């Protein structure tokens, strides 16, 4: 079929074994029946509750300027992270009672990186926002560490401008209680589909994207934000020595970021090329469609997976940093979660033929960590019952020497295409992607007709 030709199978698939794991799927469903799955809330949501509500219910497409700032911030995070810590200490995810945090760096203490303007300020201390300290304090509580570090970097400065502050939390228990209270308020607002009762937006009148897009109903009369967590912290202490050392290391020239940012880039190589070299600017400010309450199966399954015992779900970075995306792991092995809008589940024996992209991406994730087996979780949003919605498989790929060449080959192909500024030696994307692809007028994939499937 067209999808299989576009995602050509190779030696990596010859020994592939797909084994149903109904007992593990039953465990996930039991968690749901027992009420063990609470809606996951991110620490970043808890910093400013009302903007977090609107991000979930009425997200807007960022402007090209905002998108460029976000991309510059992400690149700075990557560069600083590579300078400061080994891969296993970067982008560390922690979860507790449905509250999830992804800490920029976590070795001996949580370290939060922020890109901000430092040049031109009379005192670097003016760049330390209370929201930065709130977020770091919450990471400290999540990690059960009373010490944290805040690193501020001005990516526009030449040479790089850096400020470093050490933080100590006086009462971790009080911070955690405040986090739980905020998470409860946000979950209640999302369930009611109303932000009533949430604190006022600190960005109202200061460039709030939701205000500019006229999707929020904030009037400025909302209650003030809760007492900032800074009242539970010692004043942050500057560490000029650490700042000077980091600035010197960042001043060393580095190459560009690798073109493969996500594993998905290595599945759909031609799409990834255009995203890196000839990106399309989407119209800014338009609200995006969101699923109705209770209809987001992807999020529900994510929450069920995250609600298990500590350490069951982890995220592991690739040792060489390419792709930049870390690998979600379940019970020690890579996991891939996908949701389909098909009316019925694909029979196990037809999965590889019908959905080769699932197995290719899982194989790449396994190759990046040196594993030969992983987990595939499939959700079917239109199924009538929960037993028919969730399928879980143990996928074995055979010998590790069949996977490593696959990863290397696709990384090299994308790098070469970007360097040559030509995508046409890359495999075309599968036909079902064509209709909604913003690059279809120039990608030359027109020969592949859509097969109508919609997969996440």
Considering the domain architecture, whether residues 237 and 347 belong to the same structural domain is answered as: no
Q: Is residue 452 domain-resident?
A: no
Considering the domain architecture, whether residues 11 and 80 belong to the same structural domain is answered as: no
- Where are the alpha helices (H) located in 251-396, listed in sequence order? 263-267, 269-277, 297-306, 351-354, 356-369, 386-389
Considering the domain architecture, whether residues 32 and 45 belong to the same structural domain is answered as: no
pLDDT at 454 > cutoff 50: no
The set of long-range contacts for 271-277, using a CB threshold of 8 Å and a minimum separation of 24, is: 271/429, 271/433, 271/437, 271/439, 271/443, 272/414, 273/414, 273/417, 273/418, 273/423, 273/426, 274/423, 274/439, 274/442, 274/443, 276/418, 277/418, 277/421, 277/423
- What is the pLDDT averaged over residues 177-206? 91
Considering the domain architecture, whether residues 293 and 197 belong to the same structural domain is answered as: no
Token pair for 228: 């900032």
pLDDT of residue 397: 94
Dump pLDDT digits (tens) for 238-261. 999 999 999 988 887 766 778 898
pLDDT of residue 138: 97
pLDDT of residue 178: 94
pLDDT of residue 292: 47
Considering the domain architecture, whether residues 292 and 368 belong to the same structural domain is answered as: yes
Residue that wins the pLDDT comparison between 440 and 350:
350
Dump pLDDT digits (tens) for 308-357. 887 898 888 887 778 988 899 999 999 999 999 888 899 999 999 889 99
Cβ atoms 374, 333 nearer than 8 A: yes
Identify the burial level of 215 via C-beta atoms within 10 angstroms of its C-beta, where 0-12 means exposed, 13-18 middle and 19 or more buried: middle
Dump pLDDT digits (tens) for 128-177. 989 999 999 999 999 999 999 999 998 778 878 899 999 999 999 999 99
Considering the domain architecture, whether residues 49 and 85 belong to the same structural domain is answered as: yes
Instruction: Determine the length of the chain.
Output: 456
Cβ atoms 135, 48 nearer than 8 A: no
Residue 224: domain span: 41-250
pLDDT at 32 > cutoff 90: no
Q: Is residue 446 domain-resident?
A: no
Query: Quick one: pLDDT band at residue 223, thresholds 50, 70, 90?
Result: confident
pLDDT of residue 346: 93
pLDDT at 283 > cutoff 60: no
Residues 6+ apart with CB under 8 A from 127: 116, 117, 118, 121, 152, 163
pLDDT at 205 > cutoff 90: no
- What is the pLDDT averaged over residues 206-213? 86
pLDDT of residue 293: 45
Considering the domain architecture, whether residues 50 and 196 belong to the same structural domain is answered as: yes
Query: Looking up tokens 């929201």, which residue turns up?
Result: 131
Q: Percent of the chain beyond pLDDT 70? A: 90
The highest-confidence range among 289-303, 305-319, 362-376, by mean pLDDT, is 362-376
Distance of alpha carbon 198 from the chain centroid:
25
Cβ atoms 429, 267 nearer than 8 A: no
Q: How far is CA 325 from CA 78, 210, 258, 359, 385, in A?
A: 11, 28, 11, 18, 33
Q: Is residue 455 domain-resident?
A: no
Q: Is residue 127 domain-resident?
A: yes
Show which of 219, 250, 281 is a domain's final residue.
Answer: 250
Q: Is residue 189 domain-resident?
A: yes
215 SS3 class: coil
Considering the domain architecture, whether residues 219 and 165 belong to the same structural domain is answered as: yes
pLDDT of residue 4: 39
- Whichever domain contains 165, its CATH number is 3.90.320
pLDDT of residue 3: 40
Q: Return the closest-CA partner of residue 307 out of 284, 330, 336, 341.
A: 330
Residue that wins the pLDDT comparison between 223 and 76:
223
pLDDT of residue 126: 82
Considering the domain architecture, whether residues 143 and 204 belong to the same structural domain is answered as: yes
Considering the domain architecture, whether residues 71 and 174 belong to the same structural domain is answered as: yes
The total number of structural domains in the chain stands at 2
């Amino acid at each position: 079929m067209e999808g299989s030709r576009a995602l050509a199978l190779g030696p990596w698939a010859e020994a592939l074994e797909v084994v149903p794991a109904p007992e593990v799927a039953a465990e996930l469903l039991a968690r749901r029946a027992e009420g063990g799955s609470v809606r996951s809330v991110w620490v970043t949501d808890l910093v400013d509750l009302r903007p977090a509500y609107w991000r979930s219910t009425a997200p807007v497409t960022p402007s090209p300027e905002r998108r460029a700032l976000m991309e510059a911030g992400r690149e700075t995070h990557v560069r600083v992270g590579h300078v400061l810590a080994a891969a296993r200490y970067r982008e560390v995810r922690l979860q507790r009672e449905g509250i999830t945090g992804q800490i920029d760096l976590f070795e001996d203490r949580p370290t939060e990186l922020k890109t901000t303007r430092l040049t031109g300020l009379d005192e670097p201390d003016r760049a330390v926002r209370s929201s930065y300290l709130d977020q770091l304090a919450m990471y400290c509580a999540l990690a059960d560490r009373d010490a944290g570090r805040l690193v501020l970097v001005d990516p526009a400065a030449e040479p790089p401008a850096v400020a470093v502050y050490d933080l100590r939390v006086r009462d971790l228990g009080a911070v955690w209680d405040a986090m739980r209270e905020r998470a409860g308020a946000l979950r209640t607002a999302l369930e009611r589909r109303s932000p009533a009762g949430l604190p006022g937006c600190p960005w109202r009148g200061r460039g709030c994207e939701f205000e500019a897009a006229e999707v929020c109903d904030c009037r400025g009369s909302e209650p003030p934000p809760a007492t900032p967590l800074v009242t539970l912290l010692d004043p942050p202490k500057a560490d000029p020595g650490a700042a000077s050392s980091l600035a010197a290391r960042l001043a060393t020239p580095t190459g560009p970021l690798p073109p493969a940012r996500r594993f998905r880039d290595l599945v759909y190589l031609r799409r990834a090329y255009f995203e890196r070299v000839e990106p399309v600017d989407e119209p800014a400010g338009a609200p995006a469609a969101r699923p109705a309450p209770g209809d987001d199966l992807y999020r529900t399954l994510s929450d069920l997976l995250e609600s298990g015992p500590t350490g069951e779900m982890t995220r592991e970075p690739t040792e060489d940093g390419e792709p930049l995306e870390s690998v979600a792991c379940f019970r020690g092995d890579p996991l891939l979660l996908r949701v389909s809008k098909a009316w019925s589940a694909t029979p196990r024996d037809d999965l590889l033929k019908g959905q080769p992209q699932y197995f290719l991406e899982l194989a790449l994730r396994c190759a990046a960590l040196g594993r030969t087996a992983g987990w595939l979780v499939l959700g079917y949003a239109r199924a009538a019952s929960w037993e028919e919605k969730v399928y879980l498989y143990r996928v074995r790929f055979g010998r590790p020497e069949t996977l490593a060449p696959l990863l290397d080959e696709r990384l090299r192909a994308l790098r070469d295409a970007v360097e040559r500024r030509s995508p046409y030696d890359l495999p075309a994307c599968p036909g079902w992607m064509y209709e909604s692809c913003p690059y279809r007028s120039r990608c030359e994939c027109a020969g592949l007709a859509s097969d109508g499937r919609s997969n996440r």
